Amino acid sequence: MPADSMLGYIFKGGFFMYPILLCSVISLAIFFEKLRVLQRGRVIPPGFLIDFEHMLRAEKVAPALDLCKQTDAPISRILAGGIKNYGKRREVIKELIQEVGRREAAYLEKYVEALATIANVATLLGLLGTIAGMIKIFGVIAQQDLVNPSLLAGGISEALYTTGAGLGVAIPTLIFYRIITGKADALILEMEEYCLRMVELIKEQRP
């Protein structure tokens, strides 16, 4: 759609088109930022997992901890919490890892629910804009004895612009939400499974 047509579409929709447009900008910003954050290589670096497990099996606790500190990833911060308590009881290590894991999971899921909220708000703003437009139209009708049908149809079409815009923002945003939620859940589950394996390994290697 040409820029002038897009601007005309926004102006015809009235005031409520502006918050809907803001919702679209925020939605895209969150989506692309979460895609960047939720890259598997950033969350669970494959080379790190291999090196860490080899060190742990060789009982090289200090090098394993240094590796965790040098690797900026959620999985490394979780495992660092466990390796710092190497030699303690399994329940203690598991609890500490889960505590750090909850913080890292919250980081991965940060702003994800905002996408669902934006989808709902955009839909409601669209409906509200349409209702406001219809109120204006019927206000004009009430003041006139003879109503021009073409004028009435044009007014109704303009009132429906906000509904179309609201749904146009809400539907992609809901899709963004599902994509990001799926990626976050899959990564969190993978980290949980790996950390549980490491807890058992630490228990086995415990003096």
Q: Which residue has the tokens 């929709």?
A: 13
pLDDT at 120 over 90: yes
Q: What is the pLDDT of residues 4-24, one digit of tens each?
A: 455 555 666 677 888 999 999
CA distance 101 to 81: 9
Tens of pLDDT, residue by residue over 72-97, are: 899 999 888 888 777 777 788 888 88
* pLDDT exceeds cutoff 50 at 109: yes
Every domain of the chain and the residues it spans: 3-205
Of the candidates 122, 117, 110, 118, which has an alpha carbon nearest to the alpha carbon of residue 36? 110
pLDDT band at 206 (very low <50, low <70, confident <90, very high): very low
Predicted model pTM: 0.80
Q: Tokens 């179309």 label which residue? A: 164
Confidence of residue 118 (pLDDT cuts 50, 70, 90): very high
